[in-house]
Amino acid sequence: SSQSQSTLLSIFSQEYQKQIKRTHAKHHTSEAVETYYQRYLNGVMKNAAAPVLLELANEVDFAPSLMARIVLERFLQEKEQVIPSKTLINSMLRDPSQIPDGVLANQVYQCTVNDCCYGPLVDCIKHAIGHEHEVLLREMLLEKNLSFIAEDQLRAKGYDKTPDFILEVPVAVEGHIIHWIESKASFGDESSHQAYLQDQFWSYWNRFGPGLVIYWYGFIEELDCHRERGILLKDCFPTDIVTLRHSMAQC
């Protein structure tokens, strides 16, 4: 297959996340939490250096950093006698040295480092890749002398849901008029695309008119079915951009 490795990774990560979401509830029943916590305690008692939590997560087919979160929450509940805040837990998962128990800190660290799809490390990488592609898109727009307003400028003006770039002068791509461009550093599969349409793309369309979404890692071709309504999908920066400035001036 001609798919790049990053496209395949993106697809794998999406499928894996769907599977985790489907089974999420059964790992969070009080029985399951209790079982995991006891198995953790027994495991580290036998051998504190062994990757107890990581192996447990793999055995029950759950994401390691989510397993770490369950056990950390349960540990803190027992220690503090109160339900720990999400902020505290997130902060400890990001920096396990904050966990008041050296053995658990090490166990949590092993989980977050060895998790390919969840956890603070992965969030960081995804954020960086997303940002990288926005920077790339910005450079391409500048190179083509297309004037635009970027998302941060729009946020400053008080817009809440905004695409990455709004073109100050619309352009035509493959015969379709484009007012905005959104960059997605992922593969456009059906479920993520439907969610984006609902949460983002149609509201951009309502507010700013027709636009272009670039899925840098490709997309399922059948999803590009809203061109006539005004949402165009591409997997790269379009080569045939026609600026509408001149034609507008003649009207």
Residue 122 token pair: 């992965």
Q: How far apart are CA 181 and CA 154, in angstroms?
A: 14
C-alpha radius of gyration, the chain, whole number: 23
Distance CA 180, CA 240 (A): 16
Tokens for 149? 């307003």
> What is the residue type of 45?
M
Ordered per-residue pLDDT tens for the chain, 251 residues? 556 777 787 888 888 888 888 888 899 999 999 999 999 999 999 999 999 999 999 999 999 999 999 999 999 999 888 788 999 999 999 999 999 999 999 999 999 999 887 887 788 888 888 899 999 999 999 999 999 999 888 888 888 889 999 999 999 999 999 999 999 999 999 989 999 999 999 999 999 999 999 999 999 999 999 999 999 999 999 988 998 765 444 44
pTM beyond 0.85: no
